[in-house]
Amino acid sequence: MNHSPDLGVLLRPRPASPLAEVRDERFGRYGVRLLVKRDDLVHPELPGNKWRKLAPNLRAAVEGGFPGIVTFGGAYSNHLRATAAAGRLLGMETVGIVRGDELAGRPLNDSLARCAADGMRLCFVTRSEYRRKAEPQARARLLAGAGASSLYPVPEGGSNALALEGCAELGRELRGVSEVVAVACGTGGTLAGLAAGLGPGQRALGVPVLAGGFLDAEIRSLQEAAFGGPAGAWSLAEGFHHGGYARVPARLEAFAADFEERHGFPVERIYVAKLLWALAALAESGAFPAGTAVTAVVTGRPQAVPSGS
């Protein structure tokens, strides 16, 4: 694949994504206003935080003369799918190092099939190898094994210092809009950048979609790398992962379907449904004082998830 001669529409600055108030008694009865930031509409093929994280990294890769991008993700990774789409749009090679060598002998799920259709070369590795990807020597072995040592590396979820700069712009778009701005978290990069961009008196709230309680340290580390230290006010609301990543139990599915019917926009299940569920539960528990305005950032669009999760 050859680089596009120009970064074109993909990396051009884009207008702020739409913001609207949603009237829902699950919030209103407690005196809480809910606003929705439709960041899923920020780019037609790279919705929400994927465009905000990838655009600065893609620019660095193209301007640095790299032949392509290599990155990491699981079988249902939104980030892998977005990176593959970006590679197709820019005419760049993409390689995805995928967690789980057992997947190599199976038919590709819809998510990975989309990556392959967009030209991404998939390299499946053992879960133990994948867990060590942050270690320099292990990472070098993974890249070499994938034939990707010469490519521009982007971490899992796209979260690095450049990505945080992109996500800080999301915070700047929301300055003065609400006291709390909430986002679902996978690797923590969106929250880390969002918090840095918000104004005085605002707080970023992250809802982790994975179990484990590891994000606090990760967010601090990301902010140190991007901004030289802590930036903005943020906190995490743990306990709303519904069994783990890509798990969508029946009650969460019902909640998401009901929200879609009430308010007329699609609710992505792995991240956004868990975010909205958490905010409704927090409103009910009194976590937000009456009069509080909360903005929920919609970071993606619905994709296929495993049946029976």
Query: Residue 5: what residue type?
Result: P
Find all residues with CB under 8 Å of 243, minimum gap 6, and list them. 211, 249, 309
77 is catalytic: yes
Number of H-type helices and E-type strands within the chain: 12, 10
Sequence-separated (6 or more) residues with CB below 8 Å from residue 112: 75, 80, 98, 103, 122
156: its two tokens: 């899992």
Which whole-number Å values give the CA distances from 252 to 33, 61, 93, 138, 241, in the listed order?
22, 39, 37, 37, 10
What's the rounded Cα separation, in Å, for the pair 134 and 228? 20
Q: Please identify which of the residues 4, 17, 77, 128 carries the catalytic annotation.
A: 77
In degrees and rounded to multiples of 5, residue 259 shows phi and psi of -65, -40
Compute the distance between CA of residue 139 and CA of residue 131 in angstroms, rounded to an integer: 10
Type of residue at 304: A
Q: Which two tokens stand for residue 3?
A: 């680089």
Q: For strands 33-37 and 19-22, give the pairing.
A: antiparallel
- Give the CA distances from residue 200 to residues 36, 176, 184, in Å, rounded to whole numbers and listed in that order: 20, 8, 22
CA atoms of 74 and 87, how far apart (whole Å): 18
Catalytic sites, residue numbers: 77
